Amino acid sequence: MKRFEGYGVLITGAARGIGAATARRLADEGARVLLTDIDGPAAEAAAADIPGAEALVCDVGDLAQVDAAVAHAVERFGGLDVLVNNAFASAPDTDIAEDDIDTLWRRDLDITLMGAVRCARAALPHLAATGGRGAIVNIGSVNAEADFGNHAYSAAKAGLASLTRTLAGDAAARGVRVNQINPGTIRTGNWDGREDLLDALADQLYPLGRIGEPDDIAAAVAFLASRDASWITGTVLRVDGGLLAVNKGFAAINRDG
């Protein structure tokens, strides 16, 4: 039997990249998946390539749309077993002294952090009704742990890690696990036209010698969402090719010097 046979799954920001790869992976393992995204046509296109998947427009900044998306998943799937909070906003990196806090910071925090809060709030009663298999997996970033720029986005992802820990404690009594994945650089459409930069990053920063792929993160989500991780909650899992564990530049200087 496949690990997610009979499961209902909702993924935010699922039209492309990590979200779409996660939808494919969980569907391949038996889940029925609702791909939600603010870009409706792109979500529809992604869902069309995944047997049994559905798509729905959802802006995680809008509580009514979040509630409607969760209700839709519950109605279509007969319940909701897994929530994957993948939607985010990331403003262009700027000098913090020149940031327009009321636009750049507010949007990054509202979508990346508060969007996950809205989704968890709506989903928790249904996840708790699954007999112990309910799970939330938040998609964070190595930006939550070290300086890679993008002040507002990084702060939002760090807040998401804190939310993961506190929500794990609250949800445990209801039989729901909450975990987070912090990816390193992942080859998505955001990097189109900058492949040379990706190659340079892989060579200079990543001990495993390559940039991550969306499927790398999807595999980690599948593990944390499954009963294989039934005794794991409140954990932030780095899936970063060794980026934060090894200072590759320093190691090279130390070795050659």
Question: CB–CB of 198/211 below 8 Å?
Answer: yes
Helix (H, G, I), strand (E, B) or coil at 2: coil
Question: CB–CB of 238/182 below 8 Å?
Answer: yes
The pLDDT of residue 164 is above 60: yes
The pLDDT of residue 99 is above 70: no
Q: Percentage of the chain surpassing pLDDT 90? A: 84
Q: Which domains does the chain have, with CATH numbers?
A: 8-191+214-241 (3.40.50.720)
Question: CB–CB of 12/87 below 8 Å?
Answer: yes
Which of the following is catalytic: 2, 7, 157, 248? 157
The pLDDT of residue 230 is above 80: yes
Token representation of residue 135: 């799970």
Q: What is the mean pLDDT of the chain?
A: 94
Which of the following is catalytic: 2, 7, 153, 248? 153
206 flagged as catalytic: no
Confidence (pLDDT) at 255 = 63
> Could you tell me the CA-to-CA distances from 246 to 81, 174, 226, 242 in Å, in that order?
36, 38, 29, 6
pLDDT (tens digit, 9 = 90+) per residue, 186-213? Answer: 999 888 888 889 999 999 999 999 999 9
157 flagged as catalytic: yes
CA distance 171 to 92: 34
pLDDT (tens digit, 9 = 90+) per residue, 33-87? Answer: 999 999 999 999 999 999 999 999 999 999 999 999 999 999 999 999 999 999 9
Which among 149, 137, 156 has a CA at the least distance from the CA of 236? 137
User: Which of residues 228 and 189 earns the better pLDDT score?
Assistant: 228
CA distance 189 to 247: 27
The string of DSSP codes covering 206-230 is -TTSS-B-HHHHHHHHHHHHSGGGT
